[in-house]
Structure 1
Amino acid sequence: MTLNDVFNSLERNPLPILMYFVALPLLAWIMGAAVQDRQDISTWKYLYAVLVYAVCIPGIFAMTLNVYLFLFERQSIWQADLLLQFLPILSMVLTLILIKSKISFDFIPGFGKIAGFLTLITALIGIMWFFDRLHLIAFTYVPFSALLIGFVLVLLLIRFAWSKLF
């Protein structure tokens, strides 16, 4: 089974995915209404963490897929599937806004890992896009391991710069 097969199956039966991505912001709103004060948040932070991961993993995947399709595959925006390519992102943004209105992301366990993961994906896609557009052909005697180490150092530099920026 390929990713295209999964997407075709979801396109034929869109109700489960639609219910999932509508339920997540709704659940965040209900949980926000249930939280009475700031002391009560400490008991809810793990449920918020589950909700954040449940919405961010598909949302980040959809963002990455969109960037790949639009930059590398040159897919037209008119051919984008709203349910699979944009609904997860919209649901993620709405859910995170609702959660942020009740609790700081500093209190949510593992939220920094998601931000770091998104930074790494953004850096990798940016570097891949740069090399895709560069069309550089080089004949070199530099060993592949040195190129790999250089690539990792560039990623670490991007990560360090990103942490200083925010």
Structure 2
Amino acid sequence: MTLQDFFDSVSANPALLTVFLLAIPALAFVVNMWSGEKAEEIWRWRFVYATLVYLACIPGIFAFTLNVYLFLFERQSIWRMNLVTQVLPVLTMVATLMLIKRKLPFSYIPGFGKLSGFMTLIAALIGILWIIDRTRIYAVTYIPFTYILVGFVGLLLLVRFAWSKLF
């Protein structure tokens, strides 16, 4: 089964994915209601919040990355966008993160720093690959591949360092 086969299968029967993706922000809303108002009560729910963050962010990040790839590299038209597999996961991620942010700072959620670092790394990687694709640097240079690879890793480290200092 290819990724295209999987997306075709989900597109043919979108009910299960839709229910799953809509349940995540609904669960975040319910947990916000149950967790209380005191800091000690909210602190006990941090692993539940972490689970909700990961349930929302993994499909959301994947869908966002897929959208960027399809629009920048495959030149997909916005009219051909699948709402269930390309838009709903991103909206679920945003809604869930907004609901959780109201109750608990992200710094208290276990593993959230690694997740934001992962998102930064993906964004930097796609940006660099898009620049390489548009400038066709790989076709017009006589620089050895190891130098390009070292420069690529250095650029990723620079972006990561700059992102951490910026935020």
Give TM-score, length-normalised by structure 1.
0.96
* Cα distance in structure 2, aligned partners of 1:43 and 1:129: 43
The residue that corresponds to 1:60 in the other structure is 61
Aligned length: 165
The residue that corresponds to 2:164 in the other structure is 163
Moved over 3 A (4+): none
The residue that corresponds to 2:140 in the other structure is 138
Unaligned segments of structure 2, at least 5 residues: none
* Cα distance in structure 1, aligned partners of 2:70 and 2:97: 25
Residue pairs, 1:59-98, within 5 angstroms:
59-98=60-99
Q: 1:66-101 deviations in whole A, cap 9, x for unaligned?
A: 000001000000000001000000000000000000
In the TM superposition, residue 138 of structure 1 has moved relative to its aligned partner by 2.7
Percent identity for Structure 1 against Structure 2: 55
Aligned-CA RMSD value: 0.9
In the TM superposition, residue 146 of structure 1 has moved relative to its aligned partner by 2.2
> For structure 1, which segment, 2-11 or 127-136, has the greater mean C-alpha deviation from structure 2 after superposition?
127-136
* Cα distance in structure 1, aligned partners of 2:54 and 2:120: 16
In the TM superposition, residue 41 of structure 1 has moved relative to its aligned partner by 1.4
In the TM superposition, residue 133 of structure 1 has moved relative to its aligned partner by 1.1
Unaligned segments of structure 1, at least 5 residues: none
Alpha-carbon spacing, 1:91–1:139, altered in 2? closer, same or farther (3 Å): closer
* Cα distance in structure 1, aligned partners of 2:149 and 2:132: 14
Q: Give the secondary-structure state (helix, strand or coil) at the position aligned to 2:39.
A: coil
Q: Give the secondary-structure state (helix, strand or coil) at the position aligned to 1:4.
A: helix
> Which has a greater percent of helix?
2
In the TM superposition, residue 143 of structure 1 has moved relative to its aligned partner by 3.0
Residue pairs, 1:42-61, within 5 angstroms:
42-61=43-62
The residue that corresponds to 1:8 in the other structure is 8
